[in-house]
Amino acid sequence: MNTDPSSRKQSIAVGYIFAAAMGVLLLQWLFTTYNTVDTIPYSEFEQLVAQDKVTEVSVGQDVIQGKLKDKLPSGKSAFVTARVDMALAEKLEAKGVAVTGVPSGGLLQTILSWVVPMFFFYLIWIFLGRRLADRQGFGGLMSIGKSRAKVYVEKDTKVTFADVAGVEEAKFELQEVVSFLKDPKSYGRLGAHVPKGILLVGPPGTGKTLLARAVAGEAGVAFFSISGSEFVEMFVGVGAARVRDLFEQARKAAPCIIFIDELDALGRSRSPGAFGGYDEKEQTLNQLLAELDGFDPSSGVILLAATNRPEILDPALLRAGRFDRQVLVDRPDKAGRIAILKVHVRKIRVGNDVDLDKVAGLTTGFTGADLANLINEAAIAATRRNAEEVSFSDFTVAIERIVAGIEKKSRVLSKDERRRVAYHEMGHALVASSLTGVDPVQKVSIIPRGIGALGYTMQRPTQDRFLLTITELKNRIAVLMGGRASEQLIFDGDVSTGAADDLQRATEIAIEMVTKYGMDAKVGQRTYAPKPQTFIPAAQDTIVSAAEATGREIDLAVRDLIDAGDVRARQILEKRRADLEAGVELLLANETLTAEQFAPLRSSGAAGDEQAAA
């Protein structure tokens, strides 16, 4: 059951206000109905005084109250009348006009005139002011320090370990948490206790949040889910108060799971040069550290957190006794991708020609989220062509769309540009087919795609690779230089701007070879590159911490690697000039060549070409 404590308290407050207003109206009705005082005109009061029927009188500023010897026709002996001006009353009585005063509203009416408007404006403040404040991120004033965690139970998560695939090691680690929550006594029979905190680390889209929800679904306990950014507010101390409130709620609901997504928003490392400790994020982090030290793991409260930037987390947060265990949720291997694809293809109608093993081979490096998106894109492609089921060709179209981008049908190239692009792309393809250790060519096209790409040569690995040799990296540089080498060969050195992206990628590989992997004999086997991000790729600092002379050697080494790759590519294309011309004519006629159409152009003596080029 998904409950929101703040909205529930707000509804209760509105109910109390409505009940109070109804009570005040009921009292007013009773007071009016059972009032024992009769209101009479002032002229009648004078007549009663003249007839000596009044026993006592209380004269006020606005009204006159009294009692009679005998009862009035209404059956009441007490009366009240409004006090009027005597001179005016005499003039009106002389003309035979009955004089009646208007009494004041009394104490009840005075109170209602103040209370009812206050209730009205309070209701306006609740329904408008609080909603506006919530949209602006401030929250209600009465609940500003309350936790905003959403609470789930087993039937609401609807996710179990059967819905999570490709991360078997992480599932095994978290299965222990489920076992402890279900039966803590037998789990701790040897004195072991479950870790206080478990940190799920891995690239974006690998299923960290899905795993946490699956733990809650398997254990069937309360699941407090909140993002790290929910603790951060503009007011100092609010985040710390929310941390205290969250753990207080969790202790009351034990056994339970607290899941904090994007922990890096809350637990970023504290700057060593900062003065004072009154920053909001630092106060919130300190409170979280204190809560992690304060709760007993045997109480059944387990903290799960997820982040894709563990390198920026505070060391005090990661020490033993707080987050005792870190579980890596990495990109799946081929077997994992097949398992993930099997989970997602249940939702679509798949054709008999779809081989998930082959699809998994073409999606090396894809995360679980990428594979889910691939399935959806393939289904959309099949729907677009009014098919009854999703075929393998739809999967290839989806992979092409994800990797290379959408087709730019509105971008029309001239005849000369199409021919130059064809030579450029065929140069990449022929060099790739002539070298070993490079990804095979899956498709060659001169149809513009994505941002700025006038054509593309798609290479997809068929197996997972974890190590690359210096020869394979040099071959990759040669493949990237194949497009520029083809233009130099055909157009007599009159090259175009089409190789800008190829040069950028070749330069990045060469820089990493020299500064990161120590693959140049002159520069030496030491690293000059800054420490990279763990999971999120970012633009690395190009400033190398080296002496001026060493920096020049690095620049020369990078240039030599790229020049050597260009020379190798030109040598291969000169030997295969006939294949280059035939491939360009075929590409201009079809615009796109698949792996099967490109197969006849592959040199049967690729190994010999490789040896000659070397």
- For the chain, give the longest Cα–Cα distance: 141
- The tokens of 218 are what? 């398997």
CA distances 180 to 190, 255, 395, 439, 498, Å, are: 13, 10, 42, 46, 59
The amino acid sitting at 20 is: A
CA distance 146 to 239: 9
For 333, list phi and psi in degrees, rounded to 5.
-80, -170
CA distance 426 to 578: 12
Q: Is the peptide bond before 204 cis (omega within 30 degrees of 0)?
A: no
- The tokens of 262 are what? 């994007």
CA distance 125 to 127: 6
DSSP 193: -
- The tokens of 49 are what? 């005084």
CA distances 463 to 339, 356, 359, 439, 521, Å, are: 16, 14, 12, 9, 31
CA distance 484 to 504: 13
CA distance 510 to 514: 6
CA distances 469 to 184, 278, 430, 514, 608, Å, are: 49, 51, 21, 13, 20
CA distances 461 to 240, 361, 380, Å, are: 48, 7, 25
> Measuring CA to CA, which residue among 369, 393, 377 is closest to residue 443?
393
Active-site residue, from 173, 425, 487, 610: 425
State the DSSP string of 572-589.
HHHHTHHHHHHHHHHHHH
Active site residue 425: yes
CA distance 206 to 211: 9
DSSP 522: T
The SS3 call for residue 223 is: strand
CA distances 263 to 11, 162, 269, 295, 600, Å, are: 32, 26, 11, 19, 53
Which residues, in sequence order, are CB contacts of 506 under 8 Å at separation 6+? 477, 480, 481, 562, 565
The residues that are catalytic are 425
